[in-house]
Chains A and B, each alone.
Chain A
Amino acid sequence: MDGGAILNTSFSQLLPRLQVYVDASSMSEFKTCPRKYFYSIVLGRQPTEESVHLTFGTLLHSAVELYHKTRFTKDYSRSHEEAVRVVVKWLMNATWDRKNNRPWTSNDRYKNRFTLVRTVVWYLDEHQNDILVTAILKDGRPAVELPFTFGSGFYAFTGEEFKLCGKMDRIAIYRPDSNYYVTDVKTTKSTIGDYYFKKYSPDNQVSTYSLAGNVVFGIPVEGLIIDAAQIAIEFSRFDRGLVERSQDQMVEWKEDLGYWLMNLNHCAETDRWPMNDSACDKYGGCPFRPVCAQKNPNAAMRVLEGSYRERQWDPLKNRYSF
């Protein structure tokens, strides 16, 4: 198959198309469709059109992270009011399109600059006296945006161990019982109810973070607390749910992880990335469908290189590089 591999620190030094540092997003792509994973993660291609969901979610996470850092860093603590203003000022800057000297314009009626700032202010106000308090690390830093890497116990044919990696949003203490929880913020356009939280069982990211909480941070985490934000045109609404994982579920998930990593290993070794053609219609339609629909591999590569921009996902940096 044509198409050169892009330098990415999460990939093997021995085999450039073998990802050895695997995060939840990469694994989810592979589980959905190996060919989609190949295009998006290995070759680092994304649709030319910006994903408003990705931009909105990334900015929301960064804003909440900044708030916690501003408010809870030891010897640097600011009041809620000061922290909110720091965040809003940063947000207005971050959503200014300097290239075109204009505000970030989203064609989405739900997720745009205005609803982002509104959501952040309302979310921070709502949680200013939260019973979930951000944990403080030994060095005085608040436990937010915590990168983690740990061995999976599974090895590639190159002899390298597959490592699981990622970045946790926050570790918080629940005031009533003083226990520690991993928390994450999610956005949705839908009304949030019990069914919303049910979609995280099973879920690759929740299981990865649950395992990481246990292995890396020594917390007996059995799940995550998800702060869900519903983004509507006229309002934002918030709800919170606990998504649990039992020990048995985690054992099974880890066994399955071995299966998926061996498949990943096999695809990289043979450089064959089969299509899962039953997933093309999922999630509103795969963005790479026009590529896969081409009549031969050369035409597919031409479409990929001509109509999709390079946008590398490096989980060790945990951000897209632009």
Chain B
Amino acid sequence: MADQSTYPPPAKAPLGEVTRLLPSSDALSEAEPMSMQELFSRHPETYSDKHIDAIVLNMRDLRIRLEQTATTARGGRLLAQPRAPRKTKNYLPPGASMKGLLDGPDDEDE
């Protein structure tokens, strides 16, 4: 997928530090399953909790990066906060009962 090929972005480091930044073999083996490409091509039966954590964290990281880099869309917000719907209205008239709701679905035939 196009998204994965650019994620995570390549580390930016001064040319002289490249050797120092190369991961050790241990670090590489630890890091490899955490790449999105690897995680998404794995058979799901092989997932451990660590892999699921990595997917969730990677997705969240992606969102944070987007928040930090993207400009707000024209006339909109980048990320919405939980809030009321665009229009609100009182649905229940005074004295209306919710009894039907609490009894309803259990009694409904499929």
Contact = CB atoms under 8 A, between A and B. Distances in A.
A180 B101 CA distance: 9
B106 interface: yes
B3 interface: yes
Contacts of A222: 89, 91
B4 to A, nearest CB: 6
B12 interface: no
A88 interface: yes
Q: Top 5 A-B pairs ranked by shortest CB distance?
A: A218-B100, A242-B85, A121-B59, A242-B87, A217-B104
Contact of B43 (A101, A125, A218, A239): A101
Interface string B57-86: 001101100100010010110111111111
Given A117-B59, A218-B98, A235-B66, A130 B82 contact: yes
Contacts, number: 156
A96 interface: yes
Contacts of A25: none
Contacts of A96: 43-44
Counting chain A residues whose Cβ lies within 8 A of the other chain, the interface size class is 35 or more
A137 B78 CA distance: 35
Nearest to B4: A114
B108 A220 contact: no
Interface string A174-196: 10110111000000000101100
Contacts of A191: 73, 76
B105 interface: yes
Nearest to A238: B80
A118 B82 contact: no
Contacts of B104: 216-218
Given A131-B83, A217-B105, A118 B62 contact: yes
A146 B107 CA distance: 11
Contact of B105 (A127, A137, A174): A137
A234 B1 CA distance: 11
Contact of B109 (A117, A139, A149, A176): A149
A148 interface: yes
A244 B86 CA distance: 11
B24 interface: no
Given A93-B44, A137-B102, A191-B73, A176 B84 contact: yes
Interface in A87-135: 88-89, 92-93, 96, 101, 103, 109, 112-115, 117-118, 121-122, 125-132, 135
Given A122-B63, A146-B105, A217-B101, A180 B84 contact: no
A160 B60 CA distance: 53
A233 B62 CA distance: 12
A241 B80 contact: no
A225 B80 CA distance: 16
A225 to B, nearest CB: 5
Contacts of A179: 90-92
Contacts of A197: 86
A240 interface: yes
A118 B80 contact: no
Interface string A138-162: 1100010011110000000000000
